């Protein structure tokens, strides 16, 4: 399965190279055990110790130039048609291979905007320039960011099917959490509960264990991207959790919101219902603006404006990001036009991309309401991959 | 423990900055969930999503400039004295912080020679240059490679104690393997056996699971850096295994050699004994040349020459590397003067560095003999951290 997925993505890459009129894409790495180009898993399925080039050409030819000790491994992995191994320096074989194809442009993995297209470290970049200084090739380098964005964005049927499975399994864990939540339990205990289930089932986590899941209970919570604390769940708290698993190399990323009923309450107070419903509705409003060709920031703007119009503070982050092998995947980002997001909010959406939609708002005196769903872009709109949270979950 | 280790390394870093006359060291990152600067675990103990600067100055001051959503997490981790958070762009706070210290030089993480000092990606480097283009600071960038080499190389007492524990636990697993090995078992089965023990005991693996352990049985083996195959252990095979665990963030890396007795044999054939003894003796010969001030390649040369003088082919790799948080750690490398190793073989050794010594040779018709031990450099020599393999292990 793993090898077939990689060969499928290599073929997709060749097609994208044709669309972009780029003859060659080269992922150039070393010591990937220490720092790993984020594209390697998708296009090679193995790492490398010495300077190594993983080359895909527009006609679909694939060549790996690697250290000799890694040749048997590369053959076993079986993802590259041509395997060239060297003992002392990559230089001669690299130049020979470039001479063979004489590419018009050579895309390499650097990008100011996309971390996933920026796996080439600055030192290795300098080394590459030095290796090729007596050739015309260093002059032909271009950023691979458009290739990477397209390749990671366009999910194949096989990829989508794994991602749906990951979402399904994640929501089963959310259901377990609903049964577990009780006043007196701490955020950290919820996280341990979730880690135990994930481990038992053999799932990886979609991001760093220290904040996967993030759990926030009550009005005085730490904010997103913080790990769970010793804060205890109390009656009258709004609780939310952000969690995803990694299944067969692909991530899920979902959020759900709970309310802990006070003594005598059968339903949450009006202000809690209102906050929850504004979040829920903002997701539908945003989803309606998602279609191929839409500019990413306009989707963020639709949800953000709706929330502000309803009298809440705007959320201090983007509305959503792509998901795939990485929890934060792909190029285009459903974010506002803030400098920290670079050009990503200005990109247009494409069919088969998978996005999260994850607005949030603060319900004063109760906590934070968030829902995060996942959608896939279709020919003329989008479809939810996750069955939506329609009602706030109640803890008695 | 984790936080104390980090604060200890930050203090060590400040001292190294003074030795090197560099005012400031800045680790500048983004989206570390996608690609992580290898220094972050050692000096910060957490990751970052938006452009973030982790700054250590020569007077021991530490400042983290991070996205606002990550401020609560950073406070909880507690490894930086000053925490500055921003909403839309890192630019103003970054420049303000640089203005405050007005550093003579700013070390950043790029290096042609050391992957561990090369965590700054080329795209983020370009972004950093752009952010600082109207300031004098981009002109003051220098490589952090000497800082990183010294910091990772000089193991503190706390680090050494964790590493000794990791070695002890690894050798216990090797002993289990000795009991398990039998003709008919495949290399892959040995790897599964080892993975099960490691998982049961809660140990991480020191490098990629697909070749940790590497297992090679018999004369027709795949070579180093290859994963285990379906090849079966047979009588008359020399078997070797390369394996390490990760314990509390620190790696071990060891190799041992076995021989499977043929029917009627009580001891291995002479040529097997001779090959094993040449490897064993070459390790002692190399260890005798290790001391502060020695040039790294001379240690490789001592073992390599001894093996060649004894009529074997030279091993197609370096004699040894540093070990620490990474399996391939630190700067100086006990390698030959081959271009693929850059300047690392030319560096001099320092007290408190931990190295592997891992020569290998092929015993024709039997297999590959390797032993890998770990040593720590003392004031005037080195000490073995691993109890040495003195006899070839026999399988009946």
List of chain B residues whose C-beta atoms are within 8 Å of the C-beta of residue A79: none
Task: Say yes or no for a CB contact (<8 Å) between B122 and A127.
Answer: no
Number of domains in chain B: 2
Domain boundary (B152, B175, B210) is at B152
Percent of chain A whose predicted confidence (pLDDT) is above 90: 89
Provide the pLDDT for residue B331. 84
Task: Say yes or no for a CB contact (<8 Å) between A34 and B69.
Answer: no
Q: Which domain holds residue B330?
A: 154-395
Q: Is A208 on the interface with B (CB under 8 A)?
A: yes
Domain boundary (A109, A128, A152) is at A152
List of chain B residues whose C-beta atoms are within 8 Å of the C-beta of residue A123: 110-115, 117-118, 120, 143
**A263-321 tens-digit pLDDT:** 999 999 999 999 999 999 999 999 999 999 999 999 999 999 999 999 999 998 999 99
**B327-360 tens-digit pLDDT:** 989 889 999 999 878 888 999 999 999 999 999 9
In a mutational test of the B interface, the residue from A39, A340, A362 whose CB has the highest number of chain B CBs within 10 Å is A340
In a mutational test of the B interface, the residue from A27, A49, A108, A118 whose CB has the highest number of chain B CBs within 10 Å is A118
- Say whether both B90 and B40 belong to one domain: yes
Picking from A70, A122, A338, the nearest residue to B125 by CB comes out as A122
Examine the pLDDT at B1 and tell me if it is beyond 80. Answer: no
CATH number at residue A200: 3.90.230.10
- Say whether both B180 and B234 belong to one domain: yes
Provide the pLDDT for residue A2. 83
Under DSSP, is residue B163 helix (H, G, I), strand (E, B) or coil?
Answer: helix
Provide the pLDDT for residue B226. 74
Provide the pLDDT for residue A208. 85
Provide the pLDDT for residue A340. 78
Nearest CA-CA distance, residue A287 and chain B, Å: 25
- Say whether both B182 and B258 belong to one domain: yes
Percent of chain B whose predicted confidence (pLDDT) is above 90: 89
Residue range A356-370: mean pLDDT, rounded: 96
Q: Ramachandran region of residue B168, left (φ > 0), alpha (ψ -120 to 50) or beta? A: alpha
pLDDT: which is higher, B258 or A72: B258
Runs of H (alpha helix) within B270-371: 270-288, 296-309
Confidence of residue A73 (pLDDT cuts 50, 70, 90): confident
- Say whether both A128 and A86 belong to one domain: yes
- Say whether both B140 and B159 belong to one domain: no
- Say whether both B166 and B221 belong to one domain: yes
Domain boundary (A125, A152, A179) is at A152
Q: Closest residue of B to A31, CA-based? A: B115
Provide the pLDDT for residue A277. 98
Examine the pLDDT at B268 and tell me if it is beyond 70. Answer: yes
Whether B325 and B244 have beta carbons less than 8 Å apart is answered as: no
Least reliable range by pLDDT among A208-217, A224-233, B11-20: A224-233
Provide the pLDDT for residue A222. 65
Mean pLDDT computed over every residue of chain A: 95
Confidence of residue A210 (pLDDT cuts 50, 70, 90): confident
- Say whether both B110 and B249 belong to one domain: no
Q: Is B200 on the interface with A (CB under 8 A)?
A: no
Picking from B118, B222, B316, the nearest residue to A123 by CB comes out as B118
Provide the pLDDT for residue B223. 63
Provide the pLDDT for residue B209. 87
Q: Closest residue of B to A208, CA-based? A: B33
Examine the pLDDT at A54 and tell me if it is beyond 80. Answer: yes
Confidence of residue A43 (pLDDT cuts 50, 70, 90): very high
- Say whether both B147 and B158 belong to one domain: no
Confidence of residue B225 (pLDDT cuts 50, 70, 90): low
Least reliable range by pLDDT among A73-87, A345-359, B215-229: B215-229
- Say whether both B147 and B240 belong to one domain: no
- Say whether both A110 and A200 belong to one domain: no
Provide the pLDDT for residue A299. 98
Provide the pLDDT for residue B320. 97
Picking from B34, B38, B338, the nearest residue to A116 by CB comes out as B34
Q: Is A317 on the interface with B (CB under 8 A)?
A: yes
- Say whether both B94 and B136 belong to one domain: yes
Provide the pLDDT for residue A1. 55
List of chain A residues whose C-beta atoms are within 8 Å of the C-beta of residue B362: none
CATH number at residue B99: 3.40.350.10
The predicted complex's ipTM stands at 0.84
Provide the pLDDT for residue B72. 87
- Say whether both A96 and A187 belong to one domain: no
């Amino acid at each position: 399965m793993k090898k077939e997925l990689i060969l499928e993505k290599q073929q997709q890459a060749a097609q994208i190279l044709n669309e972009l009129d780029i003859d060659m894409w080269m992922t150039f790495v070393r010591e990937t055990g220490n720092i790993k180009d984020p594209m390697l898993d998708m296009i090679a399925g193995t790492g490398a110790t010495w300077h190594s080039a993983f080359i895909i050409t527009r006609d679909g030819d694939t060549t790996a130039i690697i250290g000799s000790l890694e040749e048997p491994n590369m053959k076993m992995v079986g993802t590259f048609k041509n395997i060239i191994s060297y003992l002392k320096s990559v230089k001669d074989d690299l130049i020979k291979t470039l001479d063979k194809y004489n590419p018009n442009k050579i895309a390499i993995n650097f990008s100011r905007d996309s971390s996933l297209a920026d796996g080439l470290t600055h030192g290795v970049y300098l080394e590459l320039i030095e290796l090729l200084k007596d050739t015309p090739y260093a002059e032909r380098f271009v950023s691979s960011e458009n290739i990477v964005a397209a390749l990671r964005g366009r999910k194949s049927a096989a990829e989508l099917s794994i991602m749906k499975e990951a979402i399904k399994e994640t929501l089963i864990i959310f259901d377990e959490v609903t049964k577990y939540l009780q006043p007196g339990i701490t955020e950290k205990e919820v996280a341990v509960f979730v880690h135990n289930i994930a481990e038992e089932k053999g799932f990886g986590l979609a991001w760093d264990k220290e904040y996967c899941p993030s759990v926030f209970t009550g009005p005085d919570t730490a904010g997103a991207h913080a790990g769970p604390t010793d804060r205890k769940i109390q009656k009258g708290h709004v609780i939310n959790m952000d969690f995803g698993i990694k299944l067969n190399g692909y991530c899920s990323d979902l959020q759900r919101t709970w309310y802990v009923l006070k003594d005598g309450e059968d339903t949450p107070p009006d202000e809690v219902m209102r906050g929850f419903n504004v979040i829920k509705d903002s997701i539908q409003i945003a989803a309606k603006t998602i279609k191929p060709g839409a500019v990413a920031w306009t989707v963020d703007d639709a949800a953000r404006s709706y929330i502000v119009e309803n009298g809440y503070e705007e959320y201090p982050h983007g509305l959503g990001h792509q998901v795939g092998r990485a929890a934060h995947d792909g190029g285009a980002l459903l974010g506002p036009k803030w400098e920290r997001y670079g050009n990503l909010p200005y990109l247009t959406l494409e069919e088969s991309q998978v996005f999260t939609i994850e607005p949030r708002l603060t319900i004063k005196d109760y906590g934070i309401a968030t829902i995060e769903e996942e959608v896939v872009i279709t020919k003329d709109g989008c479809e939810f991959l996750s069955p939506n949270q329609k009602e706030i979950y109640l803890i008695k």
